[in-house]
A and B are shown apart, each in its own frame.
Chain A
Amino acid sequence: MQFASSIIRNDNMHKYILRRVLLLIPIILGVSLLVFVMTDSAEGNVLQLIGDDYTPQQMAELMHEYGYDRSVLYRYGNYMKGLVRGNLGKSFIYKRPVLELYLQRLPATLKLAGASILVAIVLSIPLGIKAARSHGTLIDNGSMVLALLGLSMPNYWLGLMLAVLFSQKLHWFPSGGNLAGWKSLVLPAITLGTGLMATMTRTTRSSMLDVIRQDYLRTARAKGVPEKVVIRKHGLRNALIPIITIIGTELGKALGGAVVTENVFSYPGVGRLIIEAVNQRDTITVTGCLIMTAVLVAVIQLFVDILYAVVDPRLRAQYTTGRRKRGKKQQITTQGAVV
């Protein structure tokens, strides 16, 4: 991995990463403002919800304490005052710090996101390759239909169907929760993964189609490279480059919290936390969780972009100065090959 490490050590790369990290600030500002204002303006506020039995005077005191007698921007201002100090606030409902709640749920969501991407990759890449190689035939069109099917099936229905078949009838996997280790992941991951499949299959297919047409495959064949190796080493290696970006995007989507799937399988991820908080008008929790999600997604995108550079040598010039050993340039000219 000498090139990977050389890239990471490179100064230009450091500057690039710094720029991307600084970009997080406007992202956080934007997300927090948008989410806060939207949740806050939904009918009903959290104090009304939990304040069933407060006297009007106590209620008025509470409203004043939390700023519900002022405008939404005032409350937002209070929230931001805490945010800049790194404090995501305390949930009204759970009475615990939002950050703690989020971090409690994050590992489960990460596992689910990772597993669904895995499922999607395992299903879509071979399918996309097959479709590209059998371009125009029944197999090609069939695979596109299959991919589309994965996208169109509502997660709620698919999840339940999987649970009925594999959990209830066959007893292979638990029907919900996160208590059985990796087995708890399988059904939710398949449910989520088939939805991610559509985009990835299409991208694999079009990327592969593009690559198949390339002359360097013909060069490889003319060298006597076995067909399997041609497809894998020469074809796939190039075709995978745009797919990496897609994987990054889809991973971001999955991390946002697959609410419906988590609901069906009562899987304790971030998505469920957010939806319960929305139902209870727990603005602070919703905003905090979505900010964290946005940051996580941005970090993953950054990672994917760097990976992109590592995998595609043509992009490296963007990030590195392309330093070569000194004196090389002179050596070439003295050999007479000016080109």
Chain B
Amino acid sequence: MKKRFLVPLLMLFVASLVFAGGAKESSDASGDSGYRDHFVAAINTMPVTLHPGDNDAPIVNDLVYDELIRYNKVTKEFEPSLAVKWEWIDDTATAFRMELRQGVKFHNGNPFTAEDVEYTLSNKGANSNVKSAFDHAVIIDDYTIEVYLKNGDADYFSKLSNTLYAGVLNKASVLADPDNGTAIGTGPWKYDMKGTLMGDTYKFVRNEEYWGKKPITKQLTLRYISSASSRLIALQNDEVQAIMEPNAADVDKIKNDPRLEYHSGTGVGPAKLYYVGFNMINGKGAKNIYLRQAIARALNLADIIATSGDLNAVEADGSFWGANTAFRAPTSAFKVDLSYNLEEARALVKKAEALNGGPIGKLTITGNTTKAINMSMCLVVQQACKAIGLDVDIEETDSAGIKAKTDWNNPNFDIIQYNVPLEDWASAVNRMFLPFSGNNRALLNDDYVTNLITKAAAITNDAERARMYQDLQVYIHDNAIYVPAYYGSRDGAQRKGVEGVVWSNDGYPEFAYATVRK
């Protein structure tokens, strides 16, 4: 009698786990405009925290926070944002005054004042790119502030334009709630914490009180879908209206699909530079310039690009500066020729062996080999070295492992294969050469370089600065500390009828003003 119920009861228990409610997607039906209320995009890099300064990517930061100064990736111009006026008040780029926009409110209604700027730029708010230079601020009044830096930094305004570095926080909110208070910004979108699941889905609602241009779309959802194939399927199904970085193999399919559009980020925003670097502390190349130059001349950049699968990659020309930065040195300035030439490369190996007092021995190259694009580049380097008589082992690891291998106190590699996004300002590359900087993967600690950088950073006179950066570039190039390979591109795809998405070459698209027609 009772037993009869046991099996169906068991099934019911199991089934109840399944049917315990489920969120329904909010309806898309809007009243007046010809646009849908809800826009969904699929991203492949996850913002991890609610603190803008702790994140790796500005995709979410751009939505929720405003920067002090806005840099338009398309026109490459500075525009006022939360700051309406800014100027240096000395000529060593150490102090500046800012006038702030009035009447701006944070998402929770708190007013935006100079206090918040001080808080953000100081040790509490921003990314270390910004806060490490900050010394102190003087608040003149609610909307005027003077900021004093530790060292001159002529490009400081550019840094302020990146919400990853300096998305403005509300001091009062953060003090009241250290964990969640950082989620309050002034931006066009507000976090919808109910619909947000950290690490998976990020939901935003339009900030109705936004001081600037209000988005047309009312709700925005970003879904973290790590598999490119899954992203594409979601796009084809209209479950999402835009996706980041489809598989290279699917690009043709997208182009041929009448419902979809393919967009490359080439030309918009900074590109990621893929390079090979040498461990300058205790690697085999640290004290052997000929070894470094030999490997530089052994690399056929066309090969590297071909195996990368990146359809829009641009070959580097030897200059180590960013592709779009000002004060880029022409290749004619270089004193040493490091172009591809196997014969010369082998000759350099001989010189390297002489300097070393014997054969070089096994070299290790490391990179984030969990990504195919990095693994294939490592393989090409390995082959190239083999062609000139050098034996190279690939040490596979992931992004966390790279950080361990390039630890300043205990580095453990000879060659590193990596990439770095290079913003458009002149000194964007500096962090690759400054000691103890996280992006200085070659672990370079060279006084000449450091002094030159520090001096150039403080100079506001463009011509003088240009000369110094030129010297720097020649030095870096001729010493083959880093060997630039190519500027990568990033792409995306969206459905026809989608407008307003800015696809950028650094892989961080802007969705703030994305719309999709009904």
Q: How far is the CB of B405 from chain A (nearest CB, A)?
A: 7
Ranked 8 nearest A-B pairs via Cβ: A114-B17, A181-B22, A53-B128, A52-B438, A44-B404, A268-B200, A44-B400, A48-B403
| Interface flag for B450 (CB, 8 Å) | no
Contact check, A181 vs B14: say whether CB atoms are below 8 A apart. Answer: no
Residue of B nearest to A101 (CB): B198
Contact check, A44 vs B2: say whether CB atoms are below 8 A apart. Answer: no
| Interface flag for B464 (CB, 8 Å) | no
Contact check, B25 vs A176: say whether CB atoms are below 8 A apart. Answer: no
| Interface flag for B402 (CB, 8 Å) | yes
Q: How far is the CB of B371 from chain A (nearest CB, A)?
A: 12
| Interface flag for A95 (CB, 8 Å) | yes
Cross-chain contact of B227 among A115, A117, A266 (Cβ < 8 A): A266
| Interface flag for B282 (CB, 8 Å) | no
A56 with B227, Cβ < 8 A, contacts A114-B14, A279-B400 known: no
- Complex: how many Å from CA A280 to CA B438? 16
- Complex: how many Å from CA A189 to CA B19? 13
Q: How far is the CB of B291 from chain A (nearest CB, A)?
A: 26
Q: List 20 A-B contacts (CB under 8 A).
A: A48-B404, A49-B400, A52-B439, A54-B438, A95-B179, A96-B179, A104-B197, A105-B197, A110-B17, A113-B17, A160-B227, A174-B239, A175-B237, A177-B201, A184-B22, A185-B18, A240-B7, A251-B14, A266-B227, A281-B400
CB-CB < 8 A to A171: which residues of B? 237
CB-CB < 8 A to A51: which residues of B? 438
From 384 to 433 in chain B, residues with beta carbon under 8 angstroms from any chain A beta carbon are 397-405, 407-408
| Interface flag for B5 (CB, 8 Å) | yes
Of the listed stretches A22-30, A81-89, A162-170, chain B binds A162-170
Contact check, B18 vs A118: say whether CB atoms are below 8 A apart. Answer: yes
- Complex: how many Å from CA A75 to CA B30? 54
Of the listed stretches A1-9, A10-18, A137-145, A323-331, chain B binds A1-9
Cβ contacts B218-259/A at 8 Å (1 or 0 each): 000001111101100110110100000000000000000000
Contact check, A182 vs B49: say whether CB atoms are below 8 A apart. Answer: no
Cross-chain contact of A111 among B17, B227, B402, B436 (Cβ < 8 A): B17
A167 with B237, Cβ < 8 A, contacts A55-B436, A272-B199 known: yes
Cβ contacts B112-137/A at 8 Å (1 or 0 each): 00000000000000011100100000
| Interface flag for B23 (CB, 8 Å) | yes
Contact residues of B with A, CB < 8 Å? 2-3, 5-7, 10-11, 14-25, 46, 48-51, 54, 127-129, 132, 179, 197-201, 223-227, 229-230, 233-234, 236-237, 239, 397-405, 407-408, 436-439
| Interface flag for A339 (CB, 8 Å) | no
Residue of B nearest to A233 (CB): B4
| Interface flag for A135 (CB, 8 Å) | no
CB-CB < 8 A to A182: which residues of B? 18-19, 22
Q: How far is the CB of A280 from chain B (nearest CB, A)?
A: 6
Q: How far is the CB of B220 from chain A (nearest CB, A)?
A: 14
| Interface flag for A206 (CB, 8 Å) | no
From 146 to 187 in chain A, residues with beta carbon under 8 angstroms from any chain B beta carbon are 160, 163-164, 167-168, 171, 174-182, 184-185
| Interface flag for A45 (CB, 8 Å) | yes
Q: How far is the CB of B453 from chain A (nearest CB, A)?
A: 16
CB-CB < 8 A to B224: which residues of A? 266
Residue of B nearest to A118 (CB): B14
A181 with B24, Cβ < 8 A, contacts A45-B404, A49-B399 known: yes
Q: How far is the CB of A316 from chain B (nearest CB, A)?
A: 13
A43 with B400, Cβ < 8 A, contacts A94-B48, A266-B225, A272-B199 known: yes
Contact check, A273 vs B199: say whether CB atoms are below 8 A apart. Answer: yes
CB-CB < 8 A to B233: which residues of A? 163-164, 167-168, 175-176
Q: How far is the CB of B474 from chain A (nearest CB, A)?
A: 28
Contact check, A272 vs B7: say whether CB atoms are below 8 A apart. Answer: no
| Interface flag for A265 (CB, 8 Å) | yes
Contact check, A43 vs B404: say whether CB atoms are below 8 A apart. Answer: yes
A272 with B200, Cβ < 8 A, contacts A56-B408, A185-B18 known: yes
Contact residues of A with B, CB < 8 Å? 1-4, 42-46, 48-56, 93-96, 101, 104-105, 107, 110-111, 113-115, 117-118, 121, 160, 163-164, 167-168, 171, 174-182, 184-185, 189, 237, 240, 244, 247, 251, 263-266, 268, 272-273, 276, 279-281, 307, 310-311
Q: How far is the CB of A319 from chain B (nearest CB, A)?
A: 16
Contact check, B5 vs A1: say whether CB atoms are below 8 A apart. Answer: yes
Contact check, B11 vs A121: say whether CB atoms are below 8 A apart. Answer: yes
CB-CB < 8 A to B20: which residues of A? 107, 110-111
CB-CB < 8 A to A3: which residues of B? 2
A268 with B197, Cβ < 8 A, contacts A43-B397, A279-B398 known: yes
Q: How far is the CB of B244 from chain A (nearest CB, A)?
A: 13
- Complex: how many Å from CA A2 to CA B3? 11
Contact check, B14 vs A117: say whether CB atoms are below 8 A apart. Answer: yes
Q: How far is the CB of A18 from chain B (nearest CB, A)?
A: 23
- Complex: how many Å from CA A174 to CA B200? 16
Residue of A nearest to B128 (CB): A53
Cross-chain contact of A276 among B6, B25, B46, B132 (Cβ < 8 A): B46
- Complex: how many Å from CA A100 to CA B21? 20
Cross-chain contact of A53 among B24, B49, B438 (Cβ < 8 A): B438
A4 with B225, Cβ < 8 A, contacts A44-B403, A52-B439, A56-B408 known: no
CB-CB < 8 A to B236: which residues of A? 168
Cross-chain contact of A95 among B50, B402, B437 (Cβ < 8 A): B50
- Complex: how many Å from CA A310 to CA B5? 12
Contact check, A114 vs B237: say whether CB atoms are below 8 A apart. Answer: no
Q: How far is the CB of A21 from chain B (nearest CB, A)?
A: 21
Residue of A nearest to B165 (CB): A53
Cross-chain contact of A178 among B23, B50, B132 (Cβ < 8 A): B23
CB-CB < 8 A to A160: which residues of B? 227, 229-230
- Complex: how many Å from CA A4 to CA B10? 14
CB-CB < 8 A to B407: which residues of A? 48
CB-CB < 8 A to B46: which residues of A? 276
Contact check, B439 vs A175: say whether CB atoms are below 8 A apart. Answer: no
Q: How far is the CB of B105 from chain A (nearest CB, A)?
A: 25
Q: A114-B16, A168-B236, A182-B22 are in contact. List 12 more A-B contacts (CB 8 A).
A: A42-B401, A43-B404, A44-B404, A48-B403, A52-B128, A53-B132, A107-B20, A114-B14, A177-B225, A179-B24, A181-B24, A266-B227
Interface centre among A1, A43, A181, A247 (most CB of B within 10 A): A43
Interface centre among A177, A265, A276, A279 (most CB of B within 10 A): A177
Contact check, A180 vs B22: say whether CB atoms are below 8 A apart. Answer: yes
CB-CB < 8 A to B16: which residues of A? 114
A43 with B223, Cβ < 8 A, contacts A50-B54, A114-B18, A182-B22 known: no
Residue of A nearest to B23 (CB): A179
Cross-chain contact of B230 among A54, A105, A163 (Cβ < 8 A): A163
Residue of B nearest to A251 (CB): B14
Interface centre among B11, B18, B49, B225 (most CB of A within 10 A): B18
- Complex: how many Å from CA A167 to CA B403? 39
Contact check, B401 vs A44: say whether CB atoms are below 8 A apart. Answer: yes
- Complex: how many Å from CA A195 to CA B21? 26
